[in-house]
Amino acid sequence: MTNGTEPLEFATIDQVVEGARKALEPAVYVWAASGAGQGVTVSRNRLALDRLALVPRVMRDVQAVDASSSFVGVPLGLPVLLAPIGALALYEPTDALASCAAAASVSTSVMCSAFTSVPWEDVAATAPGRHMFQLYVLGDRGWTTDVTVRVEAAGFGALCVTVDTPMIGRRDRSLELRSVFVADPASGEHPNLARHGWDPSYRSRYTPADLEWLCRQTRLPVVVKGIMTADDARAAVDAGVAGVYVSNHGGRQVDHAISTIEVLGEIVEAVGAEVDVAVDGGFTRGADVCKALALGARAVGIGRLQCWGLAAGGTAGLTRVLEILREEIVVTMANIGCRTTHDVTPGHVRWAVPAGEGV
């Protein structure tokens, strides 16, 4: 899916995105870019991030800046996770294996989608204990047990249960272009899941009681992905999760929903120090990542940006994305007076006039 552009020539994220746009067929580009309905939630994710301003602190010793972090016990070279994507092979034929190779260059973690086209075991084997497995519940408790046992044996470091897709969002732009997987990537053939059999209707039945059962069932730390309220976060913590992943599925499920950055702070406050918190939803720059750190997240997931890096240059393209993000994070941290990711606090951000307004 590359266009021949030498990935190392990319100096900015915007250049990567433009490289991906040129490399991809319009329908494939739109599959990742589109959101539910009119795409209002996709826009709101970005607008809210732009409204949250950084507040620099000066006269700090920032000669040595450490951008490392961790999430549910997994050390991260930078506070960026590669979020799970069910149709990643559209953007790079080797699917999650390409993401694993890029992740290794910066010592971060891949959240492997249950719908990946490569064997789950091959993904985990690239870095035992580091990568996480994204679980859609697509069967009864017996089915879930079988999958969990396989995931544990493969060597994944955590289990991430996605709970925000009881029904797949209706995405106007994909419908207009009759894009691939227009309804649901689960409509295709998936060898990993075929081994277990699966029924997509099960994900609409998942409850906190099921989550509590799963946390008792597995030896892996459990993360719940798709949380958007403090109440749901508390219910997940009470069920025994090790991590809460704040996400509106990149705006792909509910149109006109609130943005993730707007609810992040209240969710972090609700769970306190009991569990780690991650977030995604429109994050494309190092400054965005620092804003999430300020509100209490330990890591930020990138989804679309992962697709664009792979489409623009395969593993090397995604590696360059992660390098640019690391450079931007380090520079931003230094210039707001922070030596470590723990030093970035709520005092470093403030809601402000939207960027560009009144200019």
- CA–CA distance, 322 with 102 (Å, rounded to integer): 8
Would you say 252 and 35 are in contact if contact means Cβ atoms under 8 Å apart? yes
196 is catalytic: no
- H, E, C per residue of 89-120: HHCCCCCHHHHHHHHHHHCCCEEEECCCCCCH
| Phi, psi for residue 255 in degrees, rounded to 5 | -75, 150
Catalytic residue among 190, 249, 256, 342: 249
Give the 3-state secondary structure of residue 66.
strand
- H, E, C per residue of 200-255: HHHHHHCCHHHHHHHHHHCCCCEEEEEECCHHHHHHHHHHCCCEEEECCHHHCCCC
**Angle of CA points 338, 339, 345, to nearest 5°:** 40
Catalytic residues: 249
